[in-house]
Amino acid sequence: MRLAKLVLGLRSQGVTDPAVLTAIERTPRDLFTPDLFKDRSWEDSALPIACGQTISQPYIVGLMTQALTLEPRSRVLEIGTGSGYQTSVLSRLSRLVYTVERYRTLLRAAEARFEALQITNVITRFGDGFLGWGEQAPFDRILITAAAPDEPIVLLRQLKPSGVLVAPVGKGPVQELRRYAGDGQGGFSMDVLCEVRFVPLLEGVAREL
């Protein structure tokens, strides 16, 4: 009942792609939510997780996923694995998801969840998201789940000429959710989808967590 209410709410807010809604329906958000917040798993709100990070609001997960215009053969790069919730949604709509996380604790917990859900098309990496994953580039789609301080030039260079990158961009507490679409000739168009609030994208890896 709570899941149905959540999906109806997402649809009313503009997340209308049937494949995206189905992927959200099939991804048990409670598995990605800390025990302290289990009773709020199906609320349309962001929730705290370990290492000072958050599991994104389902509406934002749906909006960003929809903006990627994923195809079944897409190879996707995700920057910021976090709890693995967004990763799992992407995995249901793509051929392969490459995901990079700077917190080893978060990555190990996410990997355990992928195994529990029998998700086999996610490839993980403990590393610096600012650098992307050059060895596996170019990607059809790139999703950044933390706020890039400026236009993500390094990651745009790892995108196919006709690819799509979606990212929150901005240095303040409120950022722009941007969609970059390749024109097939090395250039990009950029649209601002809405204002969002994300934790900042940090350089390097966390040594202690």
CA distances from 195 to 24, 63, 122, 137, 165 (A): 22, 12, 29, 29, 16
In angstroms, the CA 34 to CA 49 distance is 6
- Contact of 169 with 191, CB cutoff 8 Å: no
Rg (CA), the chain: 16
| Catalytic residue (one of 12, 41, 45, 56) | 56
Pair of tokens at residue 30: 């409670």
**Length, in residues, of the chain:** 209
Residue 56 among the catalytic residues: yes
Q: What are the backbone dihedrals phi and psi of residue 22, each rounded to the nearest 5 degrees, phi first?
A: -65, -40
Catalytic residue annotation:
56
